[in-house]
Amino acid sequence: MDIHEHQAKDILARFGVPVPKGGVAFSPEQAAFRCRELGGGRCVVKAQVHSGGRGEAGGVKLCEGEAEVRDFAASLLGTSLVTKQTDAAGKRIDRLWVEEASAIERELYLGFVLDRKSERIMIVASGHGGMEIEDLAEEDPESLIRMVLDPAVGLAEYQARELAFKLGLQGAQIGQMVTVLKACYRAYRDLDAMMVEINPLVVCKDSSLVALDAKMSFDTNALFRRAEIAALRDPGQEDPRESFAADHGLAYVGLDGDIGCIINGAGLAMASMDMIQLAGGEPANFLDIGGGASPERVCQAFRTVLSDQNVSVILVNIFAGINRCDWIANGVIKAYTELGIELPVVVRLSGTNVEAGRKLIAESGLPIISADTLAEAAEAAVAARPTLIAAQ
């Protein structure tokens, strides 16, 4: 789960990271008031969306006084910001962050991420801040400094000092960098974060270090024990289909195809999408209903898939272990009758109670297409697509 810049700054500030003074605004008048609170002089106004590249896309501006802040806020709020990290629709701007301007002398990059190869937290830093990490890795890979942390020890102070030296910091800046690194590490560890990024971390002309921008993302599976973090979620920044699925405990990722998928198990879901493409089709989503899916849960899965207007066929592929095929069959029948489904539905069942499940489908009297194997199911789904779509 991602959060907004102002939320990440608030969290990091509580752990001891220095951030500029500022405030959130939901209207042009409130933005002007935030500027007045900061002294009425130069302020930076930033669109709050879950995307990088906001500056290049026109979502960040250094403004001179309240009037300019108000005008810029009015031009942003209610619009969508399209960046290199969003799709063509962009992200809707419903809030702004207004902060005091900083006297920047130098920009650094700092990130804490999970390195799956070493199964450790890794610090990635660079003396060239202000750029996306992907651009840094491509344009100046030698500038990247990587440091892997032992989870049994955490971030040792000598490691923090060593990183500060490598970034070319001097004097009192060394101690400040140690404070920033330790604070970021504690925030990452204590809040079940997946990423903490400060870009840029700036060295000001008075030699102080300030986090000019901040991003944090969190392990969704740990939100049940992080109520304060879960409360920061902004559904308006998410794909509506994914938000609906998350609210009903379903793992869903929207894609660009037209064959809706309802599958249990991530591995089987990936294999199913590959088989659909091999048969000449394109999956519309990744949806894993998980283990122990009740008929009601299956029905919610159908609602989620049908919320995508591009879906022309639905493929249900279940290998029942913890699940039961008769539960899935009852869920498919329930969805068909309650939701008034008119699209072709292909069902492939295997595993626990498979004969009972197939019997329920066969005796339902509904025009459901049954398949015995994944290959047959994928081919049937592709063949069932409307002629116009199939011709494309």
- Count of domains observed in the chain: 3
Q: What are the residue numbers of the active site?
A: 109, 197
161 is in an annotated binding site: no
Q: Looking up tokens 């989620």, which residue turns up?
A: 304
Beta pairing class for 96-100 and 193-204: unpaired
Q: What pLDDT, on a 0 to 100 scale, did the predictor assign at position 196? A: 97
Number of Cα atoms under 13 Å in the Cβ half of residue 376:
8
CATH number at residue 85: 3.30.1490.20
Q: Is 297 found in the same domain as 182?
A: no
44-94 confidence digits (pLDDT tens): 999 999 998 899 999 999 999 999 999 999 999 999 999 988 888 899 999
Tell me if 355 is assigned to a ligand binding site. no
Spatial neighbors of 51 by CB under 8 A, at least 6 apart, are 81, 83, 85, 86, 91
Last residue of a domain, one of 198, 217, 237: 237
331 annotated binding-site participant: no
The domain in which residue 283 lies consists of 239-391
Is 107 annotated in a binding site? The answer is yes
pLDDT tens across the length of the chain (392 residues):
999 999 999 999 999 999 999 999 999 999 999 999 999 999 999 999 999 889 999 999 999 999 999 999 999 999 999 998 888 889 999 999 999 999 999 999 999 999 988 889 999 999 888 777 777 777 778 889 999 999 889 999 999 999 999 999 999 999 999 999 999 999 999 999 999 999 999 999 999 999 999 999 999 889 999 999 999 999 888 877 777 777 777 888 888 899 999 998 888 999 999 999 999 999 999 998 876 678 888 888 999 999 888 999 999 999 988 778 998 999 999 999 899 898 999 999 998 899 999 999 999 999 999 999 999 999 999 999 874 444 44
Q: Which phi and psi angles does 19 have, rounded to 5°?
A: -130, 155
Residues 246 and 260 placed together within one structural domain of the fold: yes
Q: Is 221 annotated to bind ligand?
A: no
Same domain? 135 vs 13: yes
What's the CATH number where 213 sits? 3.30.470.20
| Distance, CA of 272 to CA of 262 (rounded, Å) | 10
